[in-house]
Amino acid sequence: MSAITNDRAAWLKAGTAVCSNPPLKAPAKAWRLVLLGAPGVGKGTQAELLHERLGACHLSTGDVFRAAKSLPDGQRSPAMSHALDFMRRGDLVPDQTVLDMVSERLRCLHCSGGFLLDGFPRTVVQAKALEKLMQQEDVALSAVLNYDLPMEEIVSRISGRRTCSQCKAVYHIVSRPPRTENVCDSCGGKLFQREDDRPESVRVRMAAYEKSTRPLIQFYQERDLLVPIVAGGTPEETFQRTMVALEGILAD
């Protein structure tokens, strides 16, 4: 049964914002999960499927960054405004600003339905800070799901993307092709391949991701929280592997 749609206002806006449909009754097991995985592994789709099955709220830091851009100045939390300053300059948002942003949203860590943290933590510094924060709040992670896919499969997935030059809709030449080649179904705009979706660009990004994420994976391995998930095949097949892994945790 699908979970009721939630606007995640407490996460996206912080402050006194209240979610439209908070859990009325805690599930038998409130899962608190961190989702790891390189771009192209389908992590966002898995988060949607896990939300539908488990009821856990999808807490994506990327969504907060996007919300920061659209909210009026008076509605942005201090950390969101600070993060936006870095983003406007094209700089990476520093660890401390990301941590401040999460700290503004402590209520979400206590959500009775559980949570799916996506995009945070990205570094060991952030992971240690999250660990300390959760200890202070007397909540604990259930597991860290690491979605893994061979490099060439990731390159194939991302390099097959095509973006509409007008409405920015995204297609894939294999898994989601337009009805007419190189023409957007929605607005008739011309489709193009973004520079960072080209195979050579993808390989550079993946090498950087693996280098930066390796210490984070080791951090969670040492805490016996890491659960590797093969992300190959269809999203449904990956989801079934995820659920089998979570059932294994319950059985331990």
For the chain, what are the domain ranges?
A: 9-149+225-251
The model carries a pTM of 0.86
Per-residue tokens: 18:
């209240």
Tell me if the domain spanning 9-149+225-251 has CATH number 3.40.50.970. Answer: no
Catalytic, out of 69, 132, 194, 214: 194
Question: Which residue, among 90, 70, 136, has the nearest Cα to 80 in the 3D structure?
Answer: 70
Give 152-187 pLDDT, tens digit per residue.
999 999 999 999 999 999 999 988 999 999 999 999
Q: Is the model more confident about 180 or about 71?
A: 180
Question: Which residue, among 10, 37, 43, 26, has the nearest Cα to 239 in the 3D structure?
Answer: 43
Q: Is 132 marked active-site?
A: no
- Residues with Cβ within 8 Å of 44's Cβ and at least 6 positions away in sequence, in order, are 60, 118
Q: Is the model more confident about 68 or about 135?
A: 135
Q: Is 122 marked active-site?
A: yes
- Token pair 């297609």 in the structure block, residue: 171
Q: Is 194 marked active-site?
A: yes
- Residues with Cβ within 8 Å of 229's Cβ and at least 6 positions away in sequence, in order, are 145, 146, 147, 148, 238, 241, 242, 245
Give 129-148 pLDDT, tens digit per residue.
999 999 999 999 999 999 99
Q: What is the mean pLDDT of residues 82-101?
A: 88
Mean pLDDT, rounded, of the chain = 90
Catalytic, out of 122, 157, 162, 241: 122
Q: Is the model more confident about 220 or about 9?
A: 220
Split at pLDDT 50, 70, 90, the class of 2 is very low
